[in-house]
Homo-oligomer: A and B are copies of this chain.
Amino acid sequence: MKNVTISDIAQRAGVSKTTVSRVLNSPEKVEEGTRKKIEQIMKAAHYTPSATARNLSKQASSTVGVIVPELNNAFYGDLFMGIEEILNKNNLSLLYCSNEDKVKKDFEALDMMKTQRVKGVLYVPAMNYPAAGLMGKLQKKLESLGCPAICIDRDIRLHMDTIHFNDKKAVETAVLSLVEAGHRDIAFINGNEKKNILAAERYEGYREGLRKAGLPENERLVYQGEFQKSYAYLAMKELMEKERSFTAVITGNNSLGKGYLQAVYEAEKADAYAHIGVDRIEMLDLLRIPNDYILRDSYEMGKQAAEMLISRIAFPEKKIQNILLEPSLVLESSERDRKR
């Protein structure tokens, strides 16, 4: 069970540790005969150098920490896979830790990353709204991390590298697209704009879209509660019951989109409204159900974030970078299918 060490190899080959180390790190400096002999002994002994020892000695690790809310949804799943692809290409290991979207877990995760002396951190903050006291603490924590960190998906307004989507613009485009298709009363089911920075951005986009279209905001058509399926389900039920005027609905994230669908399918009113959601909802295309949504390519975001981190590690002093990705509007339901 015990692992073979570099000293074991050195002893068996009748050389010093240094020479064995050189075979691993700069083989050209070792005479060919010696090298081949050592390589053969290493192979025979199933020798694999210890990253632990190497990291300690080199004062640099080869693993990157990834902190993500959770993985059981396609958006973060894809994000994660994008990250992994790039790390893999660069021979970096991936230390994973979820924060379950909880601020407390968030701090714990960062502590863990510091303990593990990772090379850098890719970080989707649970903290989704700049709460005064906590932000200072978070800033301190990130500073004392001892390695660079990239903030993904949520703009927490700290002085650091970030990457996220232009959600405001995306929702604005969605509104304008619906208006162009003839809709004038567009409901909006969203997360809490006061608690969640993404919700706030998207609400801004909604209002901006209406403004540009010259339409008034009807507050009775705006629901801002939780980013949860059940919330959209209830909101939609209430809307269908109380409001007659609206012909279209925008939902502020994937879960809300599902809640919307649940409500309209239950009420057998699936064809009654136009709907644009944020992020693709799986299965709809297969079932030939119209699916219009704001596409945010999280796989791509993951790749860019990882590349950003690698670049930051290579050039610690380079200027802070803030990448804003533009989502696109996908209209799978053709023009003629759209309800008005």
Contacts A282-B283, A284-B283: A146 and B3 contacting too (C-beta < 8 A)? yes
Instruction: Select one of B52, B140, B283 contacting A258, CB under 8 A.
Output: B283
Within 8 A of B (CB), among A53-95: 53, 55-56, 61, 63, 66, 70-74, 77-78, 80-81, 84, 93-95
The count of residues in chain A whose C-beta lies closer than 8 Å to any C-beta of chain B is 55
Indicate if the CB atoms of B289 and A287 lie closer than 8 Å. Answer: yes
Q: Is the CB of B265 within 8 A of A111?
A: no
Which among B53, B77, B97 is the interface contact of A56 at CB below 8 angstroms? Answer: B53
- The residues of B that contact A81 with a CB separation of less than 8 Å are 70-72, 98
Query: Quick check: B115 and A98 within 8 Å, CB to CB?
Result: no
Which residue of chain B lies nearest to A263 when distances are taken between CB atoms in the complex? B286
Residues of A within 8 A of B (CB): 1-3, 46, 48-53, 55-56, 61, 63, 66, 70-74, 77-78, 80-81, 84, 93-98, 111-112, 114-117, 140, 144, 146-147, 258, 261-262, 265-266, 281-284, 286-289, 316
Query: Which 3 residue pairs spanning A and B have beta carbons closest together?
Result: A46-B144, A283-B283, A262-B286
15 pairs, A vs B, C-beta closer than 8 Å: A1-B147, A50-B115, A51-B115, A51-B116, A52-B52, A71-B71, A71-B80, A71-B81, A94-B96, A261-B286, A265-B287, A281-B283, A282-B282, A283-B283, A283-B287
